[in-house]
Amino acid sequence: MTEYEAIIGLETHIQLNTTTKIFCGCKADSWGEPPNTNICPVCCGLPGVLPVLNKTVVEKAVLLSAAMHTEIQRVSYFDRKNYFYPDLPKGYQISQYDQPLALGGYLELPMPEGYTRRVNIAKLHIEEDAGKTKNEYGRRLIDFNRCGVPLIEMVTQPDLRSADEASQYLIRLRQLLRWLGISEADMEKAHLRCDANVSIRPKGADYLNPKTEIKNVNSITAVRDAILTEIERQMREVEAGNKIQTWTLEWDEESGVLRKMRSKETEADYRYFREPDLLPIQLDEAWLSEILSALPELPLERRQRFVEQYSLPEYDADILTGERSLSDYFESAVQSYGSDAKRVSNWLMNDVLRMVNERGISPAELKLTAAYLADIIKLVDSNAINTSTGKSLIEKVEQSGKSPQQIVDEEGLAKVSDQDAIRTVCAEVLAEAPDQVKNYQGGKIGLMGWFVGQVMKKMRGKADPQLAKSILEELLSK
């Protein structure tokens, strides 16, 4: 059998998290609201209405363009994309075509296998969303709430070579969108939508074969599964001597099956022409500089800096830059702690992140501030409290909002290093467990951990565990 390689390009539609829609004052995000309750004459395309461009849409699009290393155009135009679907009330979509906001660009994908794939961008432009069609009770129902929601459409070159690379692209894109604060990028709520163009060719070939387009995928896992399914189907077709037809396919996630929707449109079918009701977007130097001043250090750049500046393993750096608020929290904690970033990373990744995930909140919302986390680690380092008490302080501080030192003082959590007090408790533990003492003295030295645990339990976790172990060893040797 011929060895094939996949050629994949992704088309993503990114819903911007503006307050209002792109050309009118209706609320942009109407997720979960009743159908056709968030509409007006403008987004419904009634005769005589005029669109007015939302300035924030342009600013958020410019931020993404800069982060994607594109060539931002100082003058760009809107166009009408003509097609007739029931959920498009005007009969056309206001989009951008031959003179969009940005040209070129790329996104670097560091893959888990150790190599980096550069995915080039074919186009990035602003447009409005259409409505939504649903089939219920044997009828086709239309919800216009999404009409006019601001989108960025971004199309890659066919640079991806596997379903895993495609899913990694979406993971990194979602991370970037949230990092910039321009989109919630939740695929389940359609904030980030993806169509995949897939073809195959003999490995080593340099030409492109006919492609199919996969639609109706609403999670990164679904995109990966659908692409894998289509690659396998195309390989079977080609091996059987059949030609690949340029169909648009619909992914059924429940059954894991691709179904034909229609033949794929070409650009000529849309009959683009300039939007006569909107002026061109003109980005002068002052406005562009103002927008770009809000561009933060990007996640992959910060990831590399964490490795170099703090000597973190790549695994730690990758997790700590997964979300901007987590990354900022880590750096603040390191600054408050003063040294050993890896120690802060361990506490943050093992204990704080677990609490964040359980509560479904952002690190920025924690009552356990970065400074408080640093204080807890310092208390453990100075032997003022033991590690188990330090871990319990994380929950106590989050619940109360009090400082770690205040809680230690109020609850008497300071570590007991009084030898006489610990010796008394050790003697009690041994007296209450003659069988365990006999077994230990018979060679089961692993019981030492159990003895120390009993001492800690009696002393409410406040005993110095190393001192307790030393005293127990002394008593048991007699």
The DSSP code sequence of 379-444 is: HHHTTSS-HHHHHHHHHHHHHH---HHHHHHHHT-SPB--HHHHHHHHHHHHHH-HHHHHHHHTT-
Contact criterion met (CB below 8 Å) for 234 and 247: no
- Quote the pLDDT of residue 463: 76
Task: Kindly state the average pLDDT of the residues 401-410.
Answer: 93
pLDDT band at 219 (very low <50, low <70, confident <90, very high): very high
Instruction: Look at 126 and 419; give whichever has higher pLDDT.
Output: 126
Contact criterion met (CB below 8 Å) for 351 and 391: yes
- Quote the pLDDT of residue 347: 96
Q: Which residue has the tokens 């609201």?
A: 33
Q: What is the dihedral of CA 17, 23, 29, 30, to 10 degrees?
A: 180
Residues whose CB is less than 8 angstroms from the CB of residue 313 and which lie 6 or more positions away in sequence, other chains included: 307
Task: Kindly state the average pLDDT of the residues 36-40.
Answer: 95
pLDDT band at 303 (very low <50, low <70, confident <90, very high): very high
Q: Which structure tokens are listed for 212?
A: 């199919």
> What percent of the chain is predicted at pLDDT more than 70?
98
Helix (H) or strand (E) holding 94: strand 92-95
- Range with top average pLDDT, 259-263, 304-308, 446-450: 304-308
- Quote the pLDDT of residue 30: 87
Instruction: Name the nearest CA neighbour of 124 among 65, 58, 56, 184.
Output: 65
pLDDT band at 264 (very low <50, low <70, confident <90, very high): low
